[in-house]
Chains A and B, each alone.
Chain A
Amino acid sequence: MNDRAVRLGLGLVTLALMLVALYMVFVYVPTEADQGIVQRIFYFHVPCAWVAFASFALVAIAGIFYLWLGQQVWDDLGYAAAETGMVFCTLVLVTGSIWAKPIWGAWWTWDSRLTTTLILWLLYGGYLMLRAMAGDSEQGARFGAVVGIVAAIDVPIVIVSVRLWRTIHPAVLVTRQGGHGLEDPRMVATLLVSLAAFTALFIWILCLRFVTLRMHTRLGALARTLALAEAAAHD
C-alpha cells in the first residue's frame, strides 16, 4: 500500500532527526551557566509547545474546510490533530512542571506561558469530550468543527490577556524570565534541530492517526453498503 510506504518513510525520517537531536541535547550543547543540566529539558519542552499550538491551528483549519465542503476527510484530519495535539500539550505541561521544580522550587507557576498552555490544554480537553459525547455522528463532526474554530480564535486573545495579567501586575509569584535568551549558537542550533525533529514526529504521528480514522470512516460506509446488499440477497 502506498500509504504504508509513506508512513514508514516518515517514521524513519523522524527516527533519524530524533537521534541527531538527542545527541545534540545530551552531548553537543554546553551546559547552561545558571540552571545547570536541568535546563536541557528546554530543548524538548519548547518543540512540544510549538507542536501543541500548531496542531490546534490545524484543528481549526480542518474545521473550516469541513463546514465549507462537508467532506468527512476534513473532520478525520481535525480529530487526528486534536488527539495528537492533546498528547503534546500534556507533555508541555508535564515537562514544564518538572523543569520548574528544581529551578523555582514549585511544581507550578502561573507565568504567562504555562498559563496559556494550560488554557490550551483545557480547550483540547473540551473538544475531545464533546466529540466523545456526540459519538460517531455528523452532528459530532459539525459541533467539533465549530468548537475548534471558536477555540482557535480565542487563543490569541488568551495569549495577550494572560501576558498583560502577568506584567501589569508585578508578580508576587516567581515568573519565568526569558528562557529564550540563548547566548551560545550551539544552543540555537540544538533548539532548531529539536524543532525539526518534533515537527517530523508530529507529522508522522498525525499521519498514523489520520489513516486509522480514514479507515474507520471507509469501513463504516462499507458496512452500510454490505448490510443492504446482504438484506437484498436474502429476499
Chain B
Amino acid sequence: MDNLSYLFAAYAIIFAVIFGYVLFIWRRQVALEAELRAMEARMRALTETAGAARKAESRAGS
C-alpha cells in the first residue's frame, strides 16, 4: 500500500464510522417515534372510552 492509500483508508474509515453511528441514531429515533405514535393512539382510545362511559352515566343518571 503506498502512502496515498493509507491516507485514503484513514479518511474513509472516519467517514464510514461517523456515518454508521449517525445512521444508528437515526434508526433509534424512527423506532422511538413509532412508539410515541402508538402511545398517543392508546391515549386517544382511553380518553374516548372514558368520555363514552361518562356520557352513558349521565344519561342513566338523569
Contact = CB atoms under 8 A, between A and B. Distances in A.
A150 interface: no
Given A90-B17, A201-B18, A229-B46, A212 B32 contact: yes
Contact of A233 (B6, B28, B50): B50
Interface residues of A, number: 33
Nearest to B49: A233
Interface string B30-58: 00110110010011001001100000000
Contacts of B6: 38, 41, 98-99, 101-102
Contacts of B32: 212, 215-216, 219
Interface of B: 1, 3-4, 6-7, 9-11, 13-14, 17-18, 21-22, 25-26, 28-29, 32-33, 35-36, 39, 42-43, 46, 49-50
A91 interface: yes
Interface in A30-56: 36-38, 40-41, 44-45, 48
A22 B21 CA distance: 20
A30 to B, nearest CB: 15
A90 B14 CA distance: 10
Contacts, number: 78
A134 interface: no
**A contact face: mostly helix, strand, loop, or mixed:** helix
B17 A98 contact: no
Contact of A99 (B10, B29, B39): B10
Interface of A: 36-38, 40-41, 44-45, 48, 84, 87, 90-91, 94-95, 98-99, 101-102, 201, 205, 208-209, 211-212, 215-216, 219, 222-223, 226, 229-230, 233
9 contacts: A38-B6, A87-B21, A91-B18, A95-B14, A98-B10, A208-B26, A211-B29, A216-B32, A219-B32
B12 to A, nearest CB: 10
A212 B42 contact: no
